[in-house]
Amino acid sequence: MGRRRMSHKVVLVANVHNPVPTWVDTKFANAGINYVYHECYNRQDLEAYAADADVVWFMASREGLVVEETMDVFPKLGAVVKCGSGTDNIDHAACTKRGIVIAHTPEDVTDPTSDHCIAMLFTAVRQTARQDRLVRQGQWEPRAALPIGRLSGADIGIIGFGRIGKAVVRKLAGFRMRVRVHDPYVDIAAIEAEGAAKVSLDDLLSRSQYVLVTCPLTAETQGLLGERELALMRTDSVLVNCARAGIVDETALAKALERRQIMAAALDVLCEHPLAPPNDLYALENVNFTPHMGGHPSNYPDALFINPVAVILELFAGHMPRWIANAGVIPKWHLTKGQDAEANAEKPALPETGHRGEGLRDGPK
């Protein structure tokens, strides 16, 4: 795979970051790579545009494209590349047993997503979004939406202690918060090294005023926070989810917020069709929303394309990417695996029995 020739084909099948920078086309052309961009939604689309692809590339988390049922469409496929950290839309087991590498770029989203988690927490606690709405409605009255808590010295819980969770804790260090972490796949020494305490999920929920979800959506974390878990939370608590929809049961959350079982929530992610009515959360004043943009950098969209393009070029040069989501894969291509790639490959926390299995690693974007 090390030689450049036009028979190498990359197909970008899903993208929400339009327009695609013009330099992407130029980079691939200069490397002798046949690059195609076409939005694909079903098997027919894949057959028409990606059947001869060497690499399938995702810049969005569209499901149902690279799964067991479609693998016969891709006889040449050697790698799937996903922008960001979340790869729950890709069938890990189907790719691994065929020697198809799943590469991603988790470091791209660490800084912006951790910033966004903190911004959403601050917005909820200080009620800045609600005050903005009131001012625009002609109400200049601070007491109409007073802060619901303090930040300095507060109890905060982090669910998932990968790159994003660690970054949040480090950035909040100046507030001298008491930090509790739930992540069964990170050892206690690594958590305590960041000034935090490792606890069970129930302990974290019952003792933390602020709860931040920074884990991926996996078979294990699907519905992780449901009615029982939300009932454990403090009545003055704030829940922030900048990870994935599906981790928090939205119906149970709406009831908990309406009944004031918890004080407030801030959500960067919602269900698969977030604008489809009805959504009981929209009627509540004690919840803030952003449209899944936590991982968007200031130099958008160029910054999001840089590393996926670099990963694809490395693959065609015969090099194993730095970040591998299916760490146990034996590549069908001959790829040189450097020490850096080996040290940073994702370690699966669960057996490869489905397309999810990363444990409580980074949230996903």
Higher pLDDT, 365 or 166: 166
Query: Taking residues 106-126, what's their average pLDDT?
Result: 95
pLDDT digits (tens, 9 = 90+) for 69-113: 999 999 999 999 999 888 989 999 999 999 999 999 989 889 999
Query: Taking residues 314-343, what's their average pLDDT?
Result: 84
Q: Is-same-fold flag (9-108+297-344; 110-289)?
A: yes
Q: Could you give the CA distance from residue 145 to residue 210 in angstroms, rounded to a whole number?
A: 18
pLDDT digits (tens, 9 = 90+) for 256-274: 999 999 999 999 999 866 6
Q: Is the pLDDT of residue 186 over 70?
A: yes
Q: Is the pLDDT of residue 292 over 80?
A: yes
* Structure tokens belonging to residue 95: 């790719």
pLDDT value at residue 362: 43
Q: Is the pLDDT of residue 222 over 60?
A: yes
Confidence of residue 358 (pLDDT cuts 50, 70, 90): very low
Average pLDDT, the chain: 89
3-state secondary structure of 210: strand
Q: Is the pLDDT of residue 344 over 50?
A: no
Q: Could you give the CA distance from residue 250 to residue 271 in angstroms, rounded to a whole number?
A: 8
Ranking 64-73, 127-136, 239-248, 333-342 by mean pLDDT, the lowest is 333-342
Can you give the residue ranges of every domain in the chain? 9-108+297-344, 110-289
**What is the widest separation between alpha-carbon atoms in the chain?**
67
pLDDT digits (tens, 9 = 90+) for 137-164: 999 999 999 999 999 999 999 999 999 9
Name the CATH topology of 9-108+297-344. Rossmann fold (3.40.50)
Higher pLDDT, 122 or 1: 122
pLDDT value at residue 122: 98
Query: Taking residues 125-140, what's their average pLDDT?
Result: 96
pLDDT > 70: what percent of the chain? 88
Instruction: Look up the pTM and report it.
Output: 0.82
Query: CB-side exposure of 22: number of CA atoms within 13 Å?
Result: 0
pLDDT value at residue 302: 93
Q: Is the pLDDT of residue 342 over 80?
A: no
Confidence of residue 117 (pLDDT cuts 50, 70, 90): very high
Q: Is the pLDDT of residue 356 over 70?
A: no
DSSP-assigned states of every residue in 42-63: SHHHHHHHTTT-SEEEEES---
Strands 287-289 and 196-198: unpaired
CATH number of 110-289: 3.40.50.720
> Cα Rg for the chain, rounded, in angstroms?
21
Confidence of residue 352 (pLDDT cuts 50, 70, 90): very low
Which residues touch 196 (CB under 8 Å, ≥6 apart)?
Answer: 158, 161, 169, 179, 180, 181
First to last CA, the chain: 30
pLDDT value at residue 346: 41
3-state secondary structure of 336: strand
Query: CB-side exposure of 81: number of CA atoms within 13 Å?
Result: 29
Higher pLDDT, 230 or 295: 230
pLDDT value at residue 273: 62
Sheet holding 210-213, edge to edge: 196-198, 178-182, 155-159, 210-213, 238-241, 264-267, 287-289
